[in-house]
Structure 1
Amino acid sequence: MLSTIGAAIALFVATNIDDIFVLLGFFADRKFRASQVIIGQYLGVAALVAVSVLASLISLVVAPEYVGLLGLLPILIGLKRLYNLWKGEADDETDVPAAAGLGNILAVAAVTVANGGDNIGIYTPAFATSTSAEITIMVVVFAIMVAIWLAFSHWLVNHPSLGAPIRRYGHIAVPFVLIAIGILVLHEQNSLSLLQNLN
C-alpha cells in the first residue's frame, strides 16, 4: 500500500508541476474566485483520470508485457520536453478568456484538460498495470494531491518572490522524472524483453 501511495504521489507530481503555473495564473486573476478555481481544477483532473481508467481497460485482454509497452509514452513525452528545453521552446499553454460563474469553472477545467495530455499518457499504463484496489488508492491520493497543489499555488500567489525559483528550474526536472517512470513501467512488466526480441 505504501509503495502504491508513493507511486501515486510521484505520478501526480511528475504530470502536474506545470499545472502549478496555470493555477498561479488563475489565482492571480481577480476575475476568478478561489472556489471557481478549486472546482474547475477538480473537474479537469477527474476528467483526465476517467479517460485514463477507461484507456487502461485494455489490460483485461492484453498480456501485461504488451500493456507495459505503454511505458514508452512517458519516455517519449519526457524526451519531447527535453528536446523543447534544448531548443529553448516552452510547452504550449492554452489561454481561456475569463467569464463569470460557471464559465470560470469550465475555463479552469478546460485548461486543466488541455494541459493534461501527458497525464493520460502516463496514468494509463500505471492504471493498466495496477489492481482495482491500487487504482482506488491512486485516485484518492490524486484527490489529496490536487488539494495540496491548490493550497500551494494559492500560497505562492501571495508570495510571488518564492515562485521565481520554481518557474526557473521546475520544468527542467520534469522530463527526467517522466523518462524514469516510463523505464520503471517497462521494467516492472518485463516489456524490455519484447523490445530486445525485436533486434
Structure 2
Amino acid sequence: MGYMLGVFGVAIVVFASTNVDDIFVLLGFFADPKFRAKQVVIGQYLGIAVLYAVSVVASFLVLVIPATYIGLLGFAPIFFGLRRLWELWNGVETGDNPEDHEKASAGHSNIVAVTLVTIANGGDNISIYTPLFATRSAYEILAIGCIFAILAAAWLGAAHSLVNHPTLGAPIRRHGHRIVPFVLIALGILILYEAGTVGLFRG
C-alpha cells in the first residue's frame, strides 16, 4: 500500500508541475463562446492521451526526441491564435443564438484545435514523462496514466468552475475570448524559444 501511495504521489507531483500553465489555456477555451464545453473536454483528453502514449513508447524504445523538434509544435497555438484574432477583427462571433451554437459545435475543428494546443503546450512534458516511465513497471505506468486522467478532470473542472463563478465568471466570459488569442500566440513563441527551435531555421 505504501509503495503504491508513493507512485500516486509521484504521478500527482509530476502532472501538477508540468500542467500549471494549462489551466490558463483551459480558461480561455471555456470562456470562448465558439467552443462548447464538450469540445474542450474531448480535446484536452485527446491531447494528454497523445503526450502520455508518446512518452510510454519513448520509454520502451529508449527514444530521445530532440527538444528542438518537439518545439515545432509551438506553431499550432500560434496558428490558432492568429486565426482567432482574424475572426475577432472581422466580427466573426458566436452569439447566444441556438443555431449559432449548432454551427460552432459542428465538425471537429474545435476539438482538433484544443488537442493540438494541449500537445504543443505539453510538448516538453515528454522529456519528463519518458525517464519516469522508463524506470517503472507496466503496472505502474498504467496506474500513473489513470491518475493523469483523474487530474485532467480536476483541471477541467477547476477551469470550468472559474468561468462560471458568480463573481469571476462574468468578466472571464466577457473578456476571456479576446485575451486567449494573445495567450496562444505568446505560448507558441515561448515554446519555440525555450525548445531552441529557432536554431533550426538559422541553420
* TM-score bracket for this pair, using the shorter chain length: 0.5 to 0.7
Structure 1 residue 58 and structure 2 residue 64: aligned?
Answer: no
Q: Counterpart of 1:113?
A: 119
Report sequence identity in percent.
Answer: 56
Structure 1 residue identity aligned to 2:49: A
Give the SS at the match of 1:108: helix
State whether residues 27 and 159 of structure 2, in contact with CA within 8 Å, keep that contact through their aligned partners in structure 1.
Answer: yes
1:150 corresponds to which of 156, 160, 167: 156
Paired positions, count: 136
Q: Counterpart of 1:130?
A: 136
State whether residues 76 and 116 of structure 2, in contact with CA within 8 Å, keep that contact through their aligned partners in structure 1.
Answer: no
Unaligned residue ranges in structure 2 (runs of 5+): 68-73, 85-103, 173-203
Distance 1:149 1:16 in 2: 9
Deviation of 1:92 after TM superposition, in Å, equals 9.2
Give the SS at the match of 1:17: coil
Q: Counterpart of 1:94?
A: 77
Structure 1 residue 14 and structure 2 residue 17: aligned?
Answer: yes
Structure 1 residue 39 and structure 2 residue 42: aligned?
Answer: yes
State whether residues 60 and 134 of structure 2, in contact with CA within 8 Å, keep that contact through their aligned partners in structure 1.
Answer: yes
Distance 2:119 2:76 in 1: 11
State whether residues 56 and 127 of structure 1, in contact with CA within 8 Å, keep that contact through their aligned partners in structure 2.
Answer: yes
Deviation of 1:118 after TM superposition, in Å, equals 1.9
Deviation of 1:46 after TM superposition, in Å, equals 0.3
State whether residues 56 and 124 of structure 1, in contact with CA within 8 Å, keep that contact through their aligned partners in structure 2.
Answer: yes
Name the TM-score, length of structure 2 as normaliser: 0.60
Unaligned residue ranges in structure 1 (runs of 5+): 60-66, 74-90, 165-199
Deviation of 1:52 after TM superposition, in Å, equals 0.3
Distance 2:56 2:28 in 1: 29
Q: Counterpart of 2:31?
A: 28
Distance 2:127 2:107 in 1: 31
Cα deviations across residues 30-54 of structure 1 (Å, max 9, x unaligned)?
Answer: 0100000000000000000010001
